[in-house]
Amino acid sequence: MTASRFPPTNLGFVSTKSAEELCALAQELEQDAARYPDERGEILLEAAHQWESAGQVDQAVALLREVLTLGGEDAGFARYSLAELCFKQSADSDAWEHLRALDEMGPTSTGPAALVGELLEERGEYEAAAHWFDRAIETVDLEAIAKPGAGPSLAAMPLFGRQRCRAKLGLPVDEVDRVADSAREQGRVHSWPPGRNQMCWCGSERKYKKCCGAPATAR
């Protein structure tokens, strides 16, 4: 994917900040990334988001590519963000290339894989989405989720996504589906958050899935 092929884009929410304010925030975050090297990847991801929100996609892509060089979970989130951007701009072949690269990274955490699963489910790519939900639960303790008396956990979310996709594909119920049923029946997922594509409850003006509902936030 080349940055120049993408026009200014919107991340799915309406910000009250001007483009100039968003650019200033992005620049401030980049300075923070230099001051806090241990959190560099996470801060640059947020800076990329602000550049993208301001319509400065070239800068956003440049930061996401820098995060890729850092490796680990943050690189996984960067791959997801690049794939999502490609899909938004109808550059599907580039998006799938990013997802293949993410798949080859192996399990890093639940977060990036769960977000990819949700992205593909929204696109109606149920078989591919189910694969990514499977990847997401590779690091999830299913026994802990199914254990009677366990508290609420966002870790159950990928199980529900997997279950929805398998139902769309007409696949039979399996053991993981039964864990999802158990988690749902016993209330082991927060009931308070808004929908993934609704505005976050914290007032950030971002979609819930990109704010307090993002796996990176729940780390």
**Cα 7-11-78 angle, rounded to 5 deg:** 90
Instruction: Give domain status of residue 126, yes or no.
Output: yes
Indicate whether 68 and 148 sit together in one domain: no
pLDDT of amino acid 10? 41
Q: List, as own/partner pairs, every contact residues 3-8 make where C-beta atoms lie below 8 angstroms and the sequence separation is at least 24, other chains included.
A: 3/57, 3/58, 3/61, 3/62, 4/58, 5/89, 5/91, 6/57, 6/58, 6/61, 6/85, 6/89, 6/91, 7/57, 7/89, 8/55, 8/56, 8/57
Domain's final residue, options 50, 75, 108: 108
Indicate whether 79 and 171 sit together in one domain: no
Domain's final residue, options 74, 108, 142: 108
Indicate whether 38 and 66 sit together in one domain: yes
For residue 135, what are the domain limits? 120-219
Instruction: Give domain status of residue 152, yes or no.
Output: yes
Indicate whether 94 and 126 sit together in one domain: no
Instruction: Give domain status of residue 94, yes or no.
Output: yes
pLDDT of amino acid 151? 61
pLDDT digits (tens, 9 = 90+) for 125-167: 999 999 999 999 988 888 888 777 666 667 788 999 999 999 9
Indicate whether 130 and 49 sit together in one domain: no
Domain's final residue, options 108, 140, 173: 108
pLDDT digits (tens, 9 = 90+) for 184-210: 877 655 544 556 566 565 545 566 666
pLDDT of amino acid 94? 97
Residue 7 confidence (pLDDT) above 50: no
| pTM for the whole structure | 0.77
Residue 111 confidence (pLDDT) above 50: yes
Average pLDDT, the chain: 83
Instruction: Give domain status of residue 71, yes or no.
Output: yes
Indicate whether 104 and 153 sit together in one domain: no
